[in-house]
Amino acid sequence: MVSMVSGSAEPLSASGRSSEKLSLPSLQSKMKTDPEGYETELHLIRNQFYSALELFQQQAALNFSSISGVGADPTVAKDLSDRAMFLAHVTPFYPKQLAEFPSDLAAFLKSSARTLPSGLRFHATQAVILLVNRKIIDIKDTLSLFMELQTLDDRNLRKLAFSHVVHSIRRMNKNHKNEAKNRSLQNILFGLLQQDDEAKAKRSLITLCELHRRKVWFDERTANAICMACFHSSSRIMIAVLSFLLDYEKIENDDEDSDDLSSEDEMTQNPHVVISKETVYKAHHKGTAASKKKKKAKLQRAIRSMKRQQRLSSESSNCSYYSPLYHLKDAQGFVEKLFSRLQTCNERFEVKMMMLKVIARTVGLHRLILLNFYPFLQRYVQPHQKDITNLLAAAVQACHDMVPPDAVEPLFKQIVNQFVHDRSRPEAIAVGLNVIREICLRMPLLMTEDLLQDLVLYKKSHEKAVSAAARSLITLFREVCPSLLVKKDRGRPMDPKAKPKSYGEVNVLSNVPDIELLEQDDDIGGSEDDESGDEAVSISSDDGNEDNDDEESQYTANDGSEDEDVLDEEGDENDSVDEYESDIDDANEDDSDDEDKGDTEELETEEDDYTEEVSGSSKAGDSAGDGGNEDQKTKASKRKLSDFEGQLIAADTSLRALKRLAEAKTSHASSDSVDGILSDEHFQRIKKLKAKKEAKTALAQQGFKIPSSDQLSFKRVDPSKLEAHVRLRLSKEERLALVKAGREDRGQYQARTAIKQKKTGGLSNRQKDHKKYMPLAAKKAKAQRSRQEKNKKKSRSGKQFRGKKAWKQ
């Protein structure tokens, strides 16, 4: 609401009230309370306004001007501004009498705004704003007027018009958004933005950016209009747009500050962190103090990592991360056009860096292919280049898995050759290794085995930044491709046979993601039944062993006249059979691990083979049983266990084959388990089961989880992190400031004796020992020693040394 300007105190005489003299403010308040009783005064003031307006226009036509502007007579301008403000205040109470006043005032301000005195222009603008706020004039009719007023060289007027436009559009969209009205207003501002007039384009750009930042016009149309302003003919407009786009890309400390979430964020996000009670109990109650401390730290790290991952996934799903570049309709065309302007422009280096950052961010965000961009970056990759870390961060952001490795390989090699060599500075080596790690995280196919082994040797460097960067590279390739590392550097990777995807390889989902977790949860009862069946099988096999042992005892009982040599031979044979059995079990386990990774066709062939083996073993068992029955009484001492061991091995392998076949069938029948239809409850269960799985993997994982390509496209590379642990050279003043800052929390230096003398709170142990009562024997011994010392002193004091006698030599 525009404040009421005090009018002149000149008397106003109306019909019937000649003796009453009123000023404009008092008359205004009375007309608001009794509109019908003051219609004559209204007509009088209306006529005065139009007469003053006509007089002012005649003076402008006759060109009676001065330094301050047209209309050198200050009384005419003062009367006109007072009457305009008065009529603007009372217009809602006299809609019929003042129907033409708003349009006349707006037309007057639009036609002669540049030639008006600053005071009159400001008051007339206030009057128009008052009429717009009271919805007498539509904002659509006056938006171009207020945008033109912002181009004048009047700071107060420019601020007033800008705030009015922003607040009026914001107020219009507060309760609900009128898309048709917003579109018409946007068309006006978009048209001004595309004009060659730099002043109008700049003011329209500032208005659009402010509305976009306040999330009033937070749509793709506004974002595209702002982004397309990068191609304006004026370089100032282009720089303003680039700085606005890069403001959205400012790095926030997501890894550190995001752990300390506010309560509001936690209420809105509610990340599902599921840790087993056993793990929490072990971390707090099991082990020594040091081991419990380590377990608690590991538990907290796991919780933080899961919260961070779930927050990132929720951000990517809810699109809470926002940048105007994300909503480009033709991102490829935008990047190509901006890159061609970058190649031909003659701007200063800072502007070129801004253009480089925007291009790299757009390429990484939309995963575009711009092959000429990497050779262009290659020109500037030098350790002594200005803002080299920002340039390298842009190069990292422009790399993704859709770019051919051959296009990035020259840039990658130049970074290695220019930064990582023995004659380079430690700071450059650390930055180079960190950049190589970030590029290999996005494009691991660029790394070769020889190059990686050379880079890994920097882990022995005495510089902390270099050794830390080399170790981070080792940690990355332990997860991406451990086969490129030397055996001693591989550690314990989660997947020893992991390899990066080849160029263009994509994992196509044929089912709902993570639906196997739901199936596993549903099949817990079935798995328990299977386990009980397995136990029954093992029990039956054990019973078979006991029966065979009973048979053997019967055989040995019948043959009581057996020699000891035969027993020894049987013992040796049993030992050899046990060793062979263990070897076979190990081999079967290895084969089972390899076979689990095979296809279903291999499972079918293995099933046939195992069924044949089972039938053959059963036949062999029958024949062995018949032979045993025939020779039960005569050849019991020569009986061997090889046939029996073969039966056990065949039964074990057949049981494993059946298990693998059942797992394959359950995997094929995944859609049938839930009848092909998933409800919201199913998805909630999948979410909780996924959280449990992530908790287990986070606790078991030693390295770090490699983010997906979508997460990497959203991730912003912080140039300061490329210089991690790098110690920059400080000046003498900075070093002294650091020293003084370290002394603030420390008291003044004092010697230990001075501190002891000022000691308060009781006596020392030595002082307490002096006050202790001594035993009687100790007192007597002390008195005797003191007497002896006194006597010695007396005897020495009475004699004088006179030299040695000659005869004593």
**By mean pLDDT, which of 118-122, 271-275, 485-489, 562-566 is the weakest?**
562-566
* Interhelix angle 289-318/277-285, nearest 10 degrees: 140
Average pLDDT over residues 178-194: 92
* pLDDT, greater one: 176 or 809: 176
Rg (CA), the chain: 46
Average pLDDT over residues 459-465: 93
pLDDT at 680 (0 to 100): 83
Give the best-scoring range by mean pLDDT among 220-229, 297-306, 603-612: 220-229
Residue 547's Cβ-side half-sphere holds a number of Cα atoms within 13 Å equal to: 7
**By mean pLDDT, which of 244-258, 270-284, 578-592 is the weakest?**
578-592
Average pLDDT over residues 737-746: 80
Average pLDDT over residues 772-794: 88
* pLDDT, greater one: 439 or 671: 439
Average pLDDT over residues 537-556: 41
Average pLDDT over residues 6-25: 50
* Confidence check: pLDDT of 475 > 70: yes
pLDDT at 343 (0 to 100): 93
The predicted-structure confidence for 353-398, as pLDDT tens digits, reads as follows 999 999 999 999 999 999 999 999 999 999 999 999 999 999 999 9
In the chain, the percentage of residues whose pLDDT exceeds 70 is 69
Report the C-alpha gap between 690 and 694 in whole angstroms: 6
pLDDT at 575 (0 to 100): 44
**CA 230 vs CA 246, 324, 353: distances in Å:** 12, 12, 14
Average pLDDT over residues 776-796: 88
pLDDT at 250 (0 to 100): 64
pLDDT at 740 (0 to 100): 84
**By mean pLDDT, which of 159-163, 193-197, 712-716 is the weakest?**
712-716
Report the C-alpha gap between 644 and 574 in whole angstroms: 12
Domain segments of the chain as ranges: 24-232, 325-503+714-723
Average pLDDT over residues 323-339: 92
pLDDT at 666 (0 to 100): 56
**271 confidence band (pLDDT: 50, 70, 90):** very low
Q: Between 1.25.10, 3.40.50, 3.30.70, 1.25.40, what CATH number should domain 24-232 receive?
A: 1.25.10
pLDDT at 226 (0 to 100): 94
**CA 255 vs CA 271, 319, 437, 704: distances in Å:** 16, 19, 18, 13
**535 confidence band (pLDDT: 50, 70, 90):** very low
pLDDT at 692 (0 to 100): 78
Residues 6+ apart with CB under 8 A from 328: 223, 224, 227, 334, 362, 366
Average pLDDT over residues 677-688: 82
* Confidence check: pLDDT of 542 > 60: no
* Interhelix angle 642-668/564-596, nearest 10 degrees: 10
* Confidence check: pLDDT of 798 > 80: no
**701 confidence band (pLDDT: 50, 70, 90):** low
**By mean pLDDT, which of 100-114, 432-446, 451-465, 484-498 is the weakest?**
484-498
Average pLDDT over residues 116-131: 91
Residue 282's Cβ-side half-sphere holds a number of Cα atoms within 13 Å equal to: 11
* pLDDT, greater one: 357 or 743: 357
Average pLDDT over residues 516-531: 62
**CA 436 vs CA 409, 428, 431, 441, 469: distances in Å:** 11, 12, 9, 8, 10
Average pLDDT over residues 239-266: 59
**By mean pLDDT, which of 130-134, 321-325, 409-413, 787-791 is the weakest?**
321-325
Count the Cβ atoms, other than its own, within 10 Å of residue 610: 19
If you average pLDDT over every residue of the chain, what do you get?
A: 76
The two most distant CA atoms of the chain are separated, in Å, by 156
* Confidence check: pLDDT of 434 > 70: yes
* pLDDT, greater one: 140 or 700: 140
